[in-house]
Structure 1
């Protein structure tokens, strides 16, 4: 059964994930992929995400797929029950996933029960294609990315940080550009999208 927990800002949905983990009785071990942050100057959100997992009692194994070989990356993902993929540059993230031939493996593992937790870029790549995110992320850093096809696990397109600084302008511009072309899912930093099989639920920290 497909199990996805998608958000803009993982530290901002700590209580939601805590509830989700209890409801699902999740194993307290997560494979943590921070690779999307490799091309970012600001990466405090990655430390915050790790701390959030620790606060909730999770053991973290960090795996930068850009700096390990394909066999290691595939083996670690294959062995995992929970996979977290951080925010950062979506195009660079997708490039590195494709270079290590991980997309099809992640899809297979999701089918086999892997819980996929995606923050910002990690949430965006669950769409069929990520090209729409070029107004928010610099596409040119992914010099080896030949196509922008994503995991294709959801039939909508996450637009993270909507109305949130410093993404107010770029998220609004993305919305205006694609609102009539794509099924956009607007998310602020205190919301999460939970996908169970084909069932979709949007939850908020304020609820």
Structure 2
């Protein structure tokens, strides 16, 4: 049965998720989306630390420059696939080039657990056109289409209510989203969508320490 945890910010909900799936699970921490976001990656470091503290057995991994066969071999023994945040379009581009999008679907179909954080949750959607930003048009041109992983039939818009992302939403994202045909879920940093089979629900973890 499909099992996914689509988070806005995994560091606030990692313990809650670990309590549901168990501790000590071998987890690939996919950092690809952060490769365009340097040099300050404190947010990634704190997320990794939160997952480690929650009991995940982590190792860092990138799909950039890999082939599908390499990814399949490297990740053959994992229990959990965690795709972390950063640039959603860069993540999608590298996933298409490497075949990681296809690997993720096969992994989930075979009973693996997928945890997305921010961009890693966004790309689970069928299409990510509504998060398009002008400064990312070079990546958009290379992608040619906005088709994403298509793991779920909705799109996550993360960090709702966060002051840091206020202008992104008010200046672009709300206007882009205000069209028919999009099934949208706005998530705060203490919420995630739990997907089990064909069912999904929003889980709210009020204590940010979790």
TM-score of the two chains, using structure 1 as the length reference: 0.89
| 1:80-123 deviations in Å (ceiling 9; x for gaps) | 22000110000000111111112122111101111000001000
Report if the CA contact (8 A) 1:78-1:109 is conserved: no
Q: In the alignment, is residue 33 of structure 1 matched against residue 66 of structure 2?
A: no
Shift of the alpha carbon at 1:52?
1.1
Report if the CA contact (8 A) 1:127-1:157 is conserved: yes
CA distance in 1, matches of 2:97, 2:173: 27
SS at match of 2:15: helix
RMSD: 2.1
SS at match of 1:167: helix
Give the alignment of 1:75-154 within 5 angstroms: 75-135=73-133, 138-141=136-139, 144-154=142-152
Report if the CA contact (8 A) 1:8-1:123 is conserved: yes
CA distance in 2, matches of 1:196, 1:202: 12
Structure 1 segments (4+ residues) deviating >4 Å: 67-70
Report if the CA contact (8 A) 2:68-2:103 is conserved: no
Shift of the alpha carbon at 1:73?
1.9
Q: In the alignment, is residue 174 of structure 1 matched against residue 206 of structure 2?
A: no
Name the structure 2 match of 1:60: 58
Report if the CA contact (8 A) 2:86-2:119 is conserved: yes
Instruction: Call closer, same or farther: CA 1:206–1:45 in 2, change over 3 Å.
Output: same
Name the structure 2 match of 1:7: 7
CA distance in 1, matches of 2:203, 2:134: 24
User: May I ask how many residue pairs the two structures share in their alignment?
Assistant: 204
CA distance in 2, matches of 1:136, 1:167: 16
| More off after superposition, 39-48 vs 132-141 | 132-141
CA distance in 1, matches of 2:167, 2:129: 18
Instruction: Call closer, same or farther: CA 1:166–1:196 in 2, change over 3 Å.
Output: same
Shift of the alpha carbon at 1:26?
5.6
SS at match of 2:164: coil
Shift of the alpha carbon at 1:171?
2.2
Instruction: Call closer, same or farther: CA 1:68–1:108 in 2, change over 3 Å.
Output: closer
Instruction: Call closer, same or farther: CA 1:111–1:70 in 2, change over 3 Å.
Output: closer
